[in-house]
Amino acid sequence: MKLPARVTICEVGTRDGFQIEPDFIPTEQKVEVVDLLADAGLPRIEVTSFVHPKVVPQLRDAEAVMARIARRPGTRYAALVPNDKGAVRAVDAGVDAIHTVVSASESHNLANVNMTIAESMEKLRAVMQVAERAKVSVGCGVSTSFGCPFEGDVPLGQLESVVRRLTDIGAHAIGLADTTGMANPRQVARVFEHLMPKFPAIEWTLHTHDTRAMAIPNILAAMEYGVTNFDASIGGLGGCPFAPGASGNVCSEDLVHCLSAMGIETEIDLDRLIAVSRRVQAIVGRTLPGQIVKAGKSTRRYPLPDTVASRLPAARA
């Protein structure tokens, strides 16, 4: 496999995960998790979202969270925004980066933000202007890049058209999202093989959901094409409230464990990350999908039963 020596992971659990929890997570616990993630070495954290509280009530404390987190040098703190009003709020709250989203399919865009793709592009143009004035970087996500829960397959030409419209309004960083876990590794390879030569100046990110247990295989496929930026969610939290059947994002500690086992650098302390996952499980009050928390790292060793140990050659000697 032709894989990069290092990758960058953006933690999205405190936004993508916490936004769909049935019970409101207190502000102090959100702040605690963000700080623990930063202490574990996460280089990028999507902390929250500046949306109307009626739309996403679980993140109605976005300003308070941003005001109370301990800013770790080396960590970039971002927030998702739907429009220029959200962008202004995010800038005023001191974010390091703004994340936006538009869907590759019209039906999902209408379900997600109640706008056509064309209408979203106008909103995103205004967001870019706010960010430019504030000298804040912008990352543009494209939902349903690999399939739509309402329309099925999203033609590659349609995805390319959305990416081109984003570059036309000034996007330099674009994330392709497998919103409902419909992608497969061959498809991921085909998409990046098609798009990367057409948009050589773009910094690409892959955002995966593990709905059908394909997230890490899809990440590996993207890595073979030179993609080095990936979103992940602590414990595998998350899903999309506007995409039927969507389960959580790829689990952060599972992904870091996989990369570490292959000798790929992330600069994330896996033991600390596992501890954060356990803390998040306690906060949400249920077992999360992540596997490493349950099984332990692959380097974990167990004591031999006495009946086995006594029969080993070394024991007899």
Q: 228 in the Ramachandran plot: left (φ > 0), alpha (ψ -120 to 50) or beta? A: alpha
Contact 178, 221 (CB under 8 A): no
| Beta-bridge mates of residue 48 | 79
Contact 251, 239 (CB under 8 A): no
Q: What own/partner pairs with CB < 8 Å and gap ≥ 24 does 122-126 have?
A: 123/82, 123/83, 123/84, 124/100, 124/166, 124/169, 125/169, 126/83, 126/84, 126/87
The b-or-e profile of 260-289 (16+ CB within 10 A means b, else e) is: beeebebebebebbbbbbeebbebbeeebb
Helix axes 185-198, 156-168, angle to 10 degrees: 40
Dihedral of CA 205/130/242/293: which sign? Answer: positive
Contact 181, 247 (CB under 8 A): yes
Question: What are the catalytic residues?
Answer: 240
Q: Counting Cβ atoms within 10 Å, is residue 23 exposed (0-12), middle (13-18) or buried (19+)?
A: exposed
As a whole number of angstroms, the longest Cα–Cα distance in the chain is 77
Those residues whose C-beta lies under 8 Å from the C-beta of residue 137, and which sit 6 or more positions away, are 96, 97, 98, 131, 173
